[in-house]
Structure 1
Amino acid sequence: MESYVAGAPPLSVASTDGSPSASSDSPGTATSISSATTDARLGQPAAPPSVPAACLACRGKHLKCDGSTPCSRCLASSTECLYVPSRRGYKGPKRNTAHNPHKRHASSSPPYPGPSESCPMLLGHAGVSLGAPALGSFSPAGIVLPDQSPVSYTTPSPLTNVPRLYRNNSFVPAMDPNAMALTTTTSNTSATPSAASLVQPPPPTLAERCFDAFYHYFHAGHPFVLPKEYFLMLKNGNNPNVGIVEVAMRYVGSLYIDSGPAKETYLDEALRMCYQAGIPKDGFLIQALLLVIVGLDGQCNQQKARDLLADCERLAIEIDLNKREFATLHGRGNPVFEESWRRTWWELYVCDGMIAGVHRVTKFLLFDIQADVGLPCEEQQYLSGRIPQPLYMEDFDDQIFSDEDREFSSFAYRIVAARSLGRLMRMPQTLFPDLEEIDRVQAQLTNWRIHLPDSKRDDLSKSCQLDEMMFQAHFIIHACTLMLHQPLSQLDTSPAQAVNSCAPHRHVVSGDVFNAHTRHTIDAASEISKMITQAVPITQHTHFFTCVITLSSIVHLSRWAQYMVGDEDHLRQQIRLNIGALDKLSRVWKAASTAWGQVRGVAQDIYREKKAHQISPAFWVSFTQEQMINSIRTDDGIMSEFTAVVAGQGLLGGPEVTRG
């Protein structure tokens, strides 16, 4: 019987060294097959079976391996037995496969040779891409490691790009099963955590919180310091005065948050640095002083603020901050820096005017100083760094008579409003004022209003956000109107003489005729109260709005003290608005707290006096029964709300600001 079937394909037989022999097409192939079959029939031992893979030690010495773990040769020579798994027929990883507890586990391997050395297990093998998910070293029986994102590893293993090596389980290092279970549970609850979620940033320090509060609450109301991104880049320079500006910013920011004693610490540090010997006299020093001045004025330290203001004004004139070329010479070729220097001069100009106008102690010194500094651009242009070519004050004054269609920024209209305040303050204070001079100032105020472009007629920008520069410009004009006409009006201000937190009381005797000056005064006070209704947190306005609200409150209280007032319910609502606004501003500014207490106290006194007069029947002669009931009910309601304010209940909405 033949040992093969006719027509069958030729066979190959493994040689003694494990390599395949010649094919049956070679001479003597049939004889070899027949001989092997005959030996098997005679009971002689067959050739050892071939193994799927040889260990690395046997392969390196070109010796036959029995495929055991460890093999007999490695066992005899006490050599570590390592295998490279065969990838013949590999079609990629299977999904949702059950874990095999008898599977040989991957373990860490000794460091592999460097690129210059010959390593048989790397020949012909492409490394694993770093973008692929990293593989774990091994998994104990019964625990399956979930897939993890490569970014969850802080440092990749040096063996990430090396094929896994399998060895005897006796070489596997021990691992704490509890730690592995914790890792598994955490990974299952949050899928593929990223490095950003695992590493939490440290909480901001108090200094950082004060710095951020400055830009969030204050910078929009006095935008002369560099925008935040530019200032952070500037901090890395060598100018010591930049550090003074930062300390002054922290002081102002500390007023808006619960900073404790740090508020006084920052103030003392800023003053010490501003007046230390050898400090350079430059624009940064003026910026730091101006920030401290605004903060001190809002905290009722007005005398110290006036002293610093006098020093700041002398320094500004000394270094030629009021000259056009200052911005170019000190702008470092950066348009944003140049814009900041222009804004610094004009902010000092506006603040000098507002301090003089609301307190009536200083004389607005900078109003008489010649200045040819370019006008600031729009706020969005400043914050974004897209600075246009500056316009000048002569361009603003000539716009009506020139053919050029020019658009001026909100900051520019704020400057012109402050200039109108300066002209008002230069009027002689006499018992019999010149009516022609009054008409001239009123014409300037009216021209400012009627020539506003449509985009500047309210306090909102094109994106429906509050335009703080136009907000301030409008209330400066309203305050000028009130200050111009109130002394000539028919309103007796003696009932509100206790309201003197911002400025001394100005006595006005009531007349018999309701004249045009009274109409201007009442309209200006009403417009100021209307500005409180803007849908923004009132604490984001400048603190100078406190004194403007106080001026408006004096007018409202003077009217409310009269026996016969038209539309008295609307008047009461305006008083409520003013008191509520002062209460909110008092969370930040001490000056607002003082004004709030005075206005509320006068309102209570007027209420008690009105209640006393209501006992007399003659008081209700011109009232119907319904009007009498409504008047008593409204008065009781507003006084109960005043009491609620005292108990700590605010009248206005919006986010709270912790009082420092």
Structure 2
Amino acid sequence: MRRPCSRCIIQETECTYVASRRGYRGPRVAAISKSKKQQQLRTLQSVTPEYVSKDVAIIGPSPPPYTLLGSAPATQAVDYVPFYAPTMAGVFDSDAFDFGPMPPFAFQASEVPFAQFNPSLPHGYSFVDDGFSFSAPYYSLQLDTLGDVYLDSYYHHIHSAHAFVLPKHFLLRFVEESAIKHLLAAMRWVGSVYIETANSVNAITLFNEAWGLIHKPDVPKDGFLIQAMMVLILGLDGTRQRDRVHKILNDLETTAVEVGINTRIFASLHGQGLPVLEESWRRTWWNLYIIDALIAGVHRTTAFNLYHVPTTVALPCEEDQYQAGTIPPPRDLEQMENSGFLDDIQEFSSFSYLIQCARYIGQMMTARIVGPNDENITRIETLLSGWRLNLPLSKREGLFNGTKLDEMMFQGYMTLHAISILLHQPHSQLDTTPTLTIDACAPNTPALTSSGLNTHTKHAIQSANEITKLITLRVSLLKHTPFFAYMITLASTVQLSWWGLPFVRHDDDVGQRIRLNLGALSKYATVWPSSEHLVGQVKGIAREVYKIKQWQQQQIWPNPV
């Protein structure tokens, strides 16, 4: 580690750090030069609206088609269906859902907390989700008692789905350092949303504190700042603060390249000789990469800019290894991409397979698709099928490791099915008329009989049903990634379009799937305002389709005179 270290420079004290040799893997590589970092930053900022050819490689960045700041620029009308075509563009669009300008939060006190007071516990609270209970231990964080509960809530609800912050028992070692005050504040705010509501006075106060700390003029640009901003993005997206999400995401993309967190050397330079901290930095980059991909994929109002940023960051380890701090030597993305050509099937972490799915979003967003028979659709579908078929047996047999859900594989399948819907729905025969208020889509040519369904229609329906099937797993919905609510809504648009076809029976299973989707969205709505808005949209359309099905049934079996 360099001397003096960054902490001692900030505190203006003598550096007495004794370097640990844990995780040592030979002489350190020279840090990336300033000029190289500036070149990477220019690459991120100078991207132009240019589509990638069908020969784009899976490994390595593609020619960048978007600008860094703001939304994707308008392009001339051409005879092909881009990724964010009108047939699906409004599924999570601000125009369709009226995300409009909002005040930071409305000052409304919480009336129904989601944590239950339990005097037998040291801090007095236990968390209850879907019948699954959790009692959080008390830690002396030199914060107020209520703040401790909020941090416990963050780790209980969010950490397993987006594990980039240090595991709690490791983070406690840094809790007295000013370098992570903004991170703690952001975590406490997001944790508070699960205990109270986003509009509660406590939540508003915690948000203002986190927002202020992150935007202090003298805040160091480092990995902890990036983590704090990422935590804020998760909360802001769930509370329908889309403008702020875009602002922070743009700042994050720029800061990430400036500090070099997209490079392999960053983890060792800033890991303080701690393998678990080095792993945290790797996970920070890849979680940011995935968040950027999901926001671009489901909202259609941002570009997947980080897809075009060169990266040498090693792949993350398994989740249980990270939580225990037993970090194995990291492996490279190139090893994973080439593993299918080797004699022995190599197994990578579940997080690594999720990263592959996020990269497929980039592949789809940069593909020029010229209609239902375009070979780019076949190429991307080949990637999706190859992902499933090349999984090692331990990842293929199920989503549970014993009794514990593999959340990373859950998100991998979730993302894979969402990509399939986005790829095939624009070319399907689903009647989009019932869902126009949700996805603002141009009408397709609806099928007249089930035997006349084309391949795209079958793919879209099957993928939507697979997303719904994920809801049935015996795990608390609130411990999944908040982005799952958007995927459920995406599946609902397909199923509502299918249910609206005349030949689909009124009592068909699709109606039961829609009810299940609505139940899941309603559960998310108890915490996240964005889900409350989504469930209102889906429920309104489902009600109209239900009336249509009742009318159709009466035409077939009229009431006797």
- Could you tell me the TM-score, scaled by structure 2's length? 0.71
CA contact (8 A) 1:459 1:466 kept: no
Amino acid at match of 2:350: S
CA contact (8 A) 2:315 2:330 kept: yes
1:498-509 paired onto structure 2 within 5 Å = 498-500=437-439, 505=441, 507-509=443-445
Q: Does 1:396 align with 2:333?
A: no
Query: Could you say which residue in structure 1 is the equivalent of 2:463?
Result: 524
For 1:262 and 1:537, locate their aligned partners in 2 and report how far apart those are by CA, in whole Å.
25
CA contact (8 A) 2:506 2:549 kept: no
Q: Does 1:606 align with 2:525?
A: no
For 1:459 and 1:341, locate their aligned partners in 2 and report how far apart those are by CA, in whole Å.
29
Amino acid at match of 1:565: V
Query: Could you say which residue in structure 2 is the equivalent of 1:469?
Result: 408
Q: Does 1:325 align with 2:261?
A: no
Query: Could you say which residue in structure 2 is the equivalent of 1:584?
Result: 523
Q: Does 1:595 align with 2:528?
A: no
Query: Could you say which residue in structure 1 is the equivalent of 2:446?
Result: 510
Query: Could you say which residue in structure 1 is the equivalent of 2:193?
Result: 255
Deviation at 1:567, TM superposition (A): 9.0
Q: Does 1:303 align with 2:235?
A: no
For 1:200 and 1:313, locate their aligned partners in 2 and report how far apart those are by CA, in whole Å.
42
CA contact (8 A) 1:378 1:411 kept: yes
1:444-463 paired onto structure 2 within 5 Å = 444-457=383-396, 460-463=399-402
1:324-473 paired onto structure 2 within 5 Å = 324-403=264-343, 405-428=345-368, 432=371, 435-457=374-396, 460-473=399-412
Deviation at 1:217, TM superposition (A): 0.8
For 1:574 and 1:311, locate their aligned partners in 2 and report how far apart those are by CA, in whole Å.
39
Question: What's the C-alpha RMSD, in Å, of the aligned pairs?
Answer: 2.1
Task: Give SS of 2:368's match.
Answer: coil
Task: Give SS of 2:311's match.
Answer: coil
For 1:200 and 1:480, locate their aligned partners in 2 and report how far apart those are by CA, in whole Å.
44
Q: Judging changes above 3 Å, is the alpha-carbon distance between structure 1 residues 487 and 458 closer, same or farther for their aligned structure 2 residues?
A: farther
CA contact (8 A) 1:287 1:344 kept: yes
Say which structure, 1 or 2, has more relative contact order (CA 8 Å, 6+ apart). 2
1:615-654 paired onto structure 2 within 5 Å = 615-616=554-555, 619-620=556-557
For 1:600 and 1:200, locate their aligned partners in 2 and report how far apart those are by CA, in whole Å.
39
Q: Judging changes above 3 Å, is the alpha-carbon distance between structure 1 residues 327 and 609 closer, same or farther for their aligned structure 2 residues?
A: same
Equivalent of 2:478, from 532, 536, 539?
539
Q: Judging changes above 3 Å, is the alpha-carbon distance between structure 1 residues 419 and 257 closer, same or farther for their aligned structure 2 residues?
A: same
For 2:553 and 2:400, locate their aligned partners in 1 and report how far apart those are by CA, in whole Å.
48
CA contact (8 A) 2:316 2:351 kept: yes
Deviation at 1:620, TM superposition (A): 4.6
For 2:459 and 2:442, locate their aligned partners in 1 and report how far apart those are by CA, in whole Å.
17
Task: Give SS of 2:411's match.
Answer: helix
Amino acid at match of 1:509: T
CA contact (8 A) 2:189 2:207 kept: yes
For 1:200 and 1:563, locate their aligned partners in 2 and report how far apart those are by CA, in whole Å.
56
For 1:545 and 1:434, locate their aligned partners in 2 and report how far apart those are by CA, in whole Å.
30
Deviation at 1:235, TM superposition (A): 1.2
For 2:444 and 2:508, locate their aligned partners in 1 and report how far apart those are by CA, in whole Å.
24
Structure 1 residue runs of 5 or longer lacking an equivalent are 1-198, 622-627, 630-660
CA contact (8 A) 2:239 2:529 kept: yes
Deviation at 1:404, TM superposition (A): 5.4
Amino acid at match of 1:302: R
For 2:535 and 2:441, locate their aligned partners in 1 and report how far apart those are by CA, in whole Å.
16
For 1:202 and 1:544, locate their aligned partners in 2 and report how far apart those are by CA, in whole Å.
30
Deviation at 1:505, TM superposition (A): 4.1
Task: Give SS of 2:405's match.
Answer: coil
List per-residue Cα deviations over 1:187-242 (Å, max 9, x = no partner): xxxxxxxxxxxx995657221111100001110010000000000111133xx231
Query: Could you say which residue in structure 1 is the equivalent of 2:127?
Result: none
1:548-567 paired onto structure 2 within 5 Å = 548-565=487-504
CA contact (8 A) 1:377 1:387 kept: yes
Q: Which is greater in Rg?
A: 1
CA contact (8 A) 1:349 1:366 kept: yes
List per-residue Cα deviations over 1:174-194 (Å, max 9, x = no partner): xxxxxxxxxxxxxxxxxxxxx
Deviation at 1:511, TM superposition (A): 4.7
Q: Judging changes above 3 Å, is the alpha-carbon distance between structure 1 residues 370 and 304 closer, same or farther for their aligned structure 2 residues?
A: same
Q: Judging changes above 3 Å, is the alpha-carbon distance between structure 1 residues 606 and 380 closer, same or farther for their aligned structure 2 residues?
A: same
Query: Could you say which residue in structure 2 is the equivalent of 1:216?
Result: 156
CA contact (8 A) 1:420 1:444 kept: yes
Deviation at 1:337, TM superposition (A): 0.3
For 1:546 and 1:365, locate their aligned partners in 2 and report how far apart those are by CA, in whole Å.
23
CA contact (8 A) 1:459 1:470 kept: no
List per-residue Cα deviations over 1:240-287 (Å, max 9, x = no partner): 231110000001101100263111111111111111111110000000
Query: Could you say which residue in structure 1 is the equivalent of 2:510?
Result: 571
Deviation at 1:539, TM superposition (A): 1.0
Query: Could you say which residue in structure 2 is the equivalent of 1:292?
Result: 232
Structure 2 residue runs of 5 or longer lacking an equivalent are 1-119, 125-137, 139-144
CA contact (8 A) 2:350 2:409 kept: yes
List per-residue Cα deviations over 1:24-54 (Å, max 9, x = no partner): xxxxxxxxxxxxxxxxxxxxxxxxxxxxxxx
List per-residue Cα deviations over 1:56-104 (Å, max 9, x = no partner): xxxxxxxxxxxxxxxxxxxxxxxxxxxxxxxxxxxxxxxxxxxxxxxxx
List per-residue Cα deviations over 1:556-600 (Å, max 9, x = no partner): 111111111169531111111101100111111111111111111
For 2:442 and 2:149, locate their aligned partners in 1 and report how far apart those are by CA, in whole Å.
42
Deviation at 1:463, TM superposition (A): 2.2
For 1:481 and 1:327, locate their aligned partners in 2 and report how far apart those are by CA, in whole Å.
34
CA contact (8 A) 1:491 1:509 kept: yes
Q: Does 1:241 align with 2:186?
A: no
For 2:425 and 2:171, locate their aligned partners in 1 and report how far apart those are by CA, in whole Å.
44
1:196-207 paired onto structure 2 within 5 Å = 203=124, 205-207=145-147
Task: Give SS of 1:497's match.
Answer: helix
Query: Could you say which residue in structure 1 is the equivalent of 2:83?
Result: none
Q: Judging changes above 3 Å, is the alpha-carbon distance between structure 1 residues 249 and 459 closer, same or farther for their aligned structure 2 residues?
A: farther
For 1:537 and 1:557, locate their aligned partners in 2 and report how far apart those are by CA, in whole Å.
25
CA contact (8 A) 1:486 1:508 kept: no
For 2:305 and 2:527, locate their aligned partners in 1 and report how far apart those are by CA, in whole Å.
29
Amino acid at match of 1:514: L
Q: Judging changes above 3 Å, is the alpha-carbon distance between structure 1 residues 327 and 202 closer, same or farther for their aligned structure 2 residues?
A: closer
Deviation at 1:489, TM superposition (A): 0.8
CA contact (8 A) 2:446 2:501 kept: no
List per-residue Cα deviations over 1:366-415 (Å, max 9, x = no partner): 00110010000000000011100001110001111234553200100010
- Could you tell me the TM-score, scaled by structure 1's length? 0.61
Deviation at 1:347, TM superposition (A): 0.3
Q: Judging changes above 3 Å, is the alpha-carbon distance between structure 1 residues 201 and 593 closer, same or farther for their aligned structure 2 residues?
A: closer
For 2:443 and 2:358, locate their aligned partners in 1 and report how far apart those are by CA, in whole Å.
25
Deviation at 1:612, TM superposition (A): 2.9
Q: Does 1:226 align with 2:162?
A: no
